Amino acid sequence: MRPGDRGPGGVTPAKVTDFTTLSGLLDLAHDAIVVRTIEGTVLYCNRGAERLYGWSCEEATGQTAHQLLKTKFPVPEDEIRAALIRDGQWEGVLTHVTRSGQSVTVESRWALQRGSGEGAPVLEINRDITARLAAEHSSRTGERKLRFITDSAPIMLAHCDRDGRFRFVNRPYAARFGAEPHELIGRHIQEVIGETAYRTIEPFVLRALAGERVEVEREVHYDALGRHFMRFGYEPEMDDSGQVLGFVAAIQNVSDRRRAEEAERLNRERFEFVVNSTEIGLWYCDVPFDVLVWNAKCKEHFGLPPDAAVTIETFYDRIHPDDRERAREASDAAMARRRPYDVDFRTRQDDGRFKWIRAFGRVLFDGADRPIHFDGATVDITNIKEAEAQLLERDRRKDEFLATLAHELRNPLAPMRFALHLIGSGDQAPDTVARAHAVLERQFRQLVKLVDDLLDVSRITRGRLSIEKRPVPLAEVLTAALEATPFGTNSAQQELSISLPQEPVYVAADPIRLAQVFLNLLNNAAKYTPAGGHVELSARVSDGAVAVSITDDGIGIAPSMLPRIFDMFMQVDLAADQTHGGLGIGLTLVRQLVELHGGRIEAHSDGVGRGSRFVVTLPVAGASAQAAADPSGSVPRSAGKRVLIADDNTDAAEVLEIWLSTRGHEVRTVADGEAALSLAESMRPDVLLLDIGMPKVNGYDVARRIRLQPWGKPMTLVALTGWGQEEDRRRSREAGFDHHLTKPVEPSAVDALVASAGS
């Protein structure tokens, strides 16, 4: 029905004017306005109703509204109608179906126009709330989804306003503080997490509220939860104008990860500490060799500073050119054929020298059998290599030595055999016999020296060489040595000059062993100095030590040989006409003996052909020792002693008797221990030279029994034996012997002992 049309109930034109005005007004409303009878017959509807339901006013008028719109009521229609009549109004939510079949939900308000009497019309205003409901529904669904997602995220999420109050927290966040999410809403952060924790994070909260995105990891002390490493991410929330409204916080407890990292770091540091405090270098490579990681020790092994950058080129560059191929092959074999990598090579150092390095490692392969990593270690084996080389050299020298030894042992035998033959044939001229005797004497000495040296060497190598020291005048020792050298005979081929200090010098020494030192050096000087040359023996005291020099102007020593001249089996390779026999052990012995005396020895030479000098430096014995010894410092005169020799080898006894008699001593010999005892008692000798292995009473027992006698105490008892080991010396000492000489005895040694007896 349009204004101007005839209205139901006889509406007058005047009313129409009103109604026209009213109707215009009603058309302005958005809501659907319907005027109907209480039964539902439509009397009027505005444009809003036409728009909402799709029916024009004309079409709708006269129809029953609830049928036309297939209205669904929240309660039975009768009840509504009863309420309307009772209260004059009703309101509720209804569902209508529009002309096009769409369902719309409306908020409906009804009013009964009572004043109109019977058949009073009902005014109905319907507001379409379909869109709002849908929006509300979708917003509720969205929120549920959001909560579902955030609650199941393994991270604490919170949304705070600009005052630091929670507007949203997910369940993990609330659970951390023992609460339900809704319990935290509206509360301040500090109130929830505690004051201590808040102090730690406040600066970051403030930065977020200043509009900054913040990511930070801190150890936080929660009053209720203890210390934890937390990771915070703050995202400021801004409106369109850039005003900060609050922030979203994403928070994770990273304590486990930090603890693992910390443990890992500690382990790595420990590992590195241990490795770095050893001599082991470490290297890691990715294959192909793009990245090489070497620790400082490994770099050191390659002569590089700790901060040096390393490439595969560096590696090969530092390796000795002769070893590069071997290193490359080892690496190829490890990668291509899965061979264990273990190779040694020399590496160049900055000073131009080379180190021997052993490198070992392994290759790691991926699932497709491709090499991906090549890791390992390096060790400096320079010392081992040098020791190996030394061992080889020693071995070589020992072989040479054995060959020389065989040669040296055989050498004297031929002339000795001849000499014996000459003497034995009986009808030789005295001169020939004397010469043959001299030959025998020389060769014999040579043999004895060889055997003695050999025994000494074996003692040295077994660490069994020991000496018994007592204060002795140096001059005595030197004289004893000189007497046994060619210089002490007419056959000397070099001129010897001697220069010793005026005052007597005493050294703490085993006189026989020390004499052996100078004997060796003097013999060498004679051996290695051509006939007509000069040898000088001199001694000088300074700073409590005496330096004895033996200088010659002979063949000299090449500088390269000097440092090794004292090594065992060392012999300088000489031209054939310069060789002099010998085993190359003399100087080794000499050095050992000098060191046993607390001294040292040095060899000097300006080179081949320029002579040599050997200097033995020994500590001078103290004043009391000097006082106790012979103040004259001269060699005791070898005369006037009474000597008793007991030896069942009558030849040996006889030779000794002749020798000592010629030296001006009174000598008697016996062939067994019993005879020795009885003669000793009647003769009261100054010196007894006793063989050990004798019939009837052995040498030890003779010595013991003599020592028991009052007259036997001052006698000098000398053991003569084939056994010279330390054990044998100890036994003879225990039996009461003063000295122990090994057979064949050196006449000069016997001479020295007899001469010094009783002094």
Contacting positions for ligand ADP (CB under 6 A): 524-525, 528, 552, 554-557, 565, 570-572, 582-588, 612
Measured from the CB atom, the residue of 250 and 583 that comes closer to ligand ADP is: 583
Measured from the CB atom, the residue of 393 and 728 that comes closer to ligand ADP is: 393
Measured from the CB atom, the residue of 526 and 643 that comes closer to ligand ADP is: 526
Taking the complex as a whole, how short is the minimal distance between the CB of residue 698 and ligand ADP, in angstroms? 37
Taking the complex as a whole, how short is the minimal distance between the CB of residue 617 and ligand ADP, in angstroms? 18
Using alpha carbons, list the distances in angstroms from residue 686 to 261, 640, 689, 759: 90, 10, 10, 10
* Longest alpha-carbon distance in the chain: 198
Using alpha carbons, list the distances in angstroms from residue 317 to 310, 349, 435, 499, 644: 11, 11, 71, 60, 79
Taking the complex as a whole, how short is the minimal distance between the CB of residue 564 and ligand ADP, in angstroms? 9
Measured from the CB atom, the residue of 59 and 400 that comes closer to ligand ADP is: 400
Taking the complex as a whole, how short is the minimal distance between the CB of residue 375 and ligand ADP, in angstroms? 51
Taking the complex as a whole, how short is the minimal distance between the CB of residue 453 and ligand ADP, in angstroms? 8
Taking the complex as a whole, how short is the minimal distance between the CB of residue 334 and ligand ADP, in angstroms? 48
For 33, the enclosing helix (H) or strand (E) is strand 32-36
Measured from the CB atom, the residue of 141 and 458 that comes closer to ligand ADP is: 458
Smallest Cα–Cα separation from 126: which of 110, 103, 102?
Answer: 110
d(CA 344, CA 301): 12
Measured from the CB atom, the residue of 309 and 575 that comes closer to ligand ADP is: 575
Which phi and psi (to 5°) does residue 641 adopt?
-95, 150
Measured from the CB atom, the residue of 555 and 676 that comes closer to ligand ADP is: 555
Taking the complex as a whole, how short is the minimal distance between the CB of residue 570 and ligand ADP, in angstroms? 5
Dihedral of CA 520/522/527/528: which sign?
positive
d(CA 603, CA 549): 10
Taking the complex as a whole, how short is the minimal distance between the CB of residue 542 and ligand ADP, in angstroms? 24
Chain position carrying tokens 């018994």: 468
Amino acid (1-letter code) at residue 591: R
Measured from the CB atom, the residue of 424 and 532 that comes closer to ligand ADP is: 532
Paired tokens of 249 = 């916080």
Taking the complex as a whole, how short is the minimal distance between the CB of residue 591 and ligand ADP, in angstroms? 9
Measured from the CB atom, the residue of 33 and 457 that comes closer to ligand ADP is: 457
d(CA 143, CA 42): 42
Paired tokens of 88 = 């004059």
Measured from the CB atom, the residue of 528 and 700 that comes closer to ligand ADP is: 528
d(CA 180, CA 189): 15
Q: Where are the beta strands (DSSP E) in 101-209?
A: 103-112, 122-128, 156-161, 166-169
Measured from the CB atom, the residue of 362 and 534 that comes closer to ligand ADP is: 534
Beta bridge partners of 546: 541, 618
Taking the complex as a whole, how short is the minimal distance between the CB of residue 499 and ligand ADP, in angstroms? 18
Cβ-closest residue to ligand ADP?
Answer: 582
If DSSP states are collapsed to H, E and C, what string results for 206-246?
HHHHCCCCEEEEEEEEECCCEEEEEEEEEEEEECCCCCEEE
Taking the complex as a whole, how short is the minimal distance between the CB of residue 580 and ligand ADP, in angstroms? 7
Residue 698 · residue 721 · CB < 8 Å: no
If DSSP states are collapsed to H, E and C, what string results for 587-646?
HHHHHHHHHHCCCEEEEEECCCCCCEEEEEEEEECCHHHHHHCCCCCCCCCCCCCEEEEE
Measured from the CB atom, the residue of 568 and 656 that comes closer to ligand ADP is: 568
Q: DSSP letters along 446-511, please?
A: HHHHHHHHHHHHHHHHTT------EEEEHHHHHHHHHHTSGGGSTT--SEEEEE--SS--EEEE-H
| Number of other residues whose CB lies within 10 A of the CB of residue 307 | 7
Taking the complex as a whole, how short is the minimal distance between the CB of residue 561 and ligand ADP, in angstroms? 7
